[in-house]
């Protein structure tokens, strides 16, 4: 019987993480394997709270480990992936679950059944909805030069012309192949990870699962969206993305790295120029009162300043204070 390792990454959200783990335990009923909670160097007593709760509740399928550093979403999950099952064994599948996500009772089973029945699929993601049942957009096309122009311009004629490049995809009603899906609830085949590696730890936050899905696709593995697998997700509870007044440096780092690493320097430059052109169109339309704003405060200036610096000197890791961002999840 296939064995599943569920990985939940915690950063200063111990009570919520325990709720997520409790939902995962119910969804793992009848499935061999276990759950590992990785405390991502919270430094606030979360690790002790988690260990005590796991012991008191008699969760023998769950163990808590310490990452030792807050290296980001990918690095923290990699700690759990490398740790393997609580008994030290190798899983057949790895299931990533955000600490603010709560799978339905059959959500994990449905992803497992799909991957077992689809040997060409390396990853499968769930239908994600808010606690108000509103659907979250979590299936996407890969970013491209054209998508950078379309997404920044936010104008009907350009979107119609570049409809083949629009990144967010309509939510399908049946299992569908996608370029990439969000990592809030994502099952991965261990054989695939053994071949292509886990997350690139040079991404602190954002673009890491996009990069992984691209590497999988280039190695011949398919990524699927399984809408029957339903997971409730608070969304941006730890990153605060919805309340960003200004886009943080690590987002620009990740975006530049994705294009530079996967498509080369010329494409990375072209993508920045395309987004800058789109932003200029957007700002002109804003002045005319006929568009919604793309990006937050000083976004266009920060994009150009960051990418010119990256072009000249390479990416320097963003200065991040532990109190500035809690890295436990990725959502769009």
> Residues 211, 99, 86, CA angle at the centre, nearest 5°?
90
Question: Quick check: is 270 in a domain?
Answer: no
Separation of alpha carbons 295 and 282, rounded Å:
10
- Quickly tell me which residue has 């261990």 as its tokens: 190
Q: Which of the residues in the chain have pLDDT under 50?
A: 237-240, 317-332
In the prediction, which pLDDT does 239 show? Answer: 45
Question: Quick check: is 18 in a domain?
Answer: yes
In the prediction, which pLDDT does 321 show? Answer: 37
Separation of alpha carbons 260 and 311, rounded Å:
10
- Quickly tell me which residue has 């409790």 as its tokens: 22
pTM for this predicted structure: 0.92
**Three-state DSSP state, 231:** strand
Question: Quick check: is 129 in a domain?
Answer: yes
Q: For residue 238, what is the domain's CATH number?
A: 3.90.550.10
Question: Quick check: is 37 in a domain?
Answer: yes
Number of domains in the chain: 1
pLDDT tens digits along 289-300: 877 888 888 999
| Number of Cα atoms under 13 Å in the Cβ half of residue 263 | 18
Question: Quick check: is 175 in a domain?
Answer: yes
Buried b / exposed e along 161-190 (16+ C-beta atoms within 10 A) = ebeebbbebebeeebeebbbbbbbbbbbbb
In the prediction, which pLDDT does 296 show? Answer: 82
In the prediction, which pLDDT does 235 show? Answer: 72
Question: Quick check: is 71 in a domain?
Answer: yes
Question: Quick check: is 325 in a domain?
Answer: no
Question: Quick check: is 150 in a domain?
Answer: no
CA 126 and chain centroid, separation:
12
- Domain of residue 229, residue span: 3-143+168-242
In the prediction, which pLDDT does 48 show? Answer: 97
pLDDT tens digits along 273-326: 999 999 999 999 988 887 788 888 899 999 999 999 999 988 754 444 333 444
């Amino acid at each position: 019987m296939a064995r599943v390792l569920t990985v939940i990454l915690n950063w200063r959200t111990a009570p919520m993480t325990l709720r997520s783990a409790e939902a995962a335990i119910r969804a793992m009923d009848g499935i061999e394997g276990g759950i590992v909670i990785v405390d991502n160097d919270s430094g606030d007593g979360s690790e002790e709270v988690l260990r005590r709760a796991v012991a008191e509740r008699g969760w023998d399928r769950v163990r808590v480990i310490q990452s030792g550093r807050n290296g980001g979403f990918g690095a923290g999950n990699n700690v759990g992936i490398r740790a393997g099952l609580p008994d030290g064994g190798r899983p057949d599948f790895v299931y990533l679950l955000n600490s603010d996500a709560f799978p339905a009772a059959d959500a994990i089973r449905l992803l497992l059944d799909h991957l077992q029945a689809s040997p060409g699929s390396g990853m499968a993601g769930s239908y994600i909805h808010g606690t108000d049942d509103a659907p979250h957009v979590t299936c996407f096309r890969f970013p491209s030069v054209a998508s950078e122009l379309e997404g920044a311009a936010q104008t009907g004629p350009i979107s119609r012309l570049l409809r083949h490049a629009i990144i967010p995809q309509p939510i399908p009603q049946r299992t569908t192949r996608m370029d990439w899906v969000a990592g809030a609830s994502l099952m991965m085949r261990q054989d695939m990870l053994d071949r292509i590696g886990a997350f690139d730890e040079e991404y602190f936050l954002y673009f890491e699962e996009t990069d992984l899905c691209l590497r999988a696709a280039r190695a011949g593995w398919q990524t699927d969206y399984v809408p029957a697998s339903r997971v409730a997700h608070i969304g941006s509870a730890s990153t605060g993305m919805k309340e960003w007044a200004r886009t943080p440096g690590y987002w620009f780092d990740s975006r530049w790295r994705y294009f530079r690493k996967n498509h080369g320097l010329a494409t990375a430059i072209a993508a920045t120029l395309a987004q800058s052109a789109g932003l200029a169109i957007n700002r002109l339309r804003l002045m005319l009162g006929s568009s919604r704003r793309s990006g937050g405060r000083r976004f266009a200036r920060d994009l150009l300043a960051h990418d010119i610096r990256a072009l000249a000197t390479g990416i320097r890791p963003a200065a991040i204070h532990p109190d500035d961002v809690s890295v436990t999840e990725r959502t769009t």
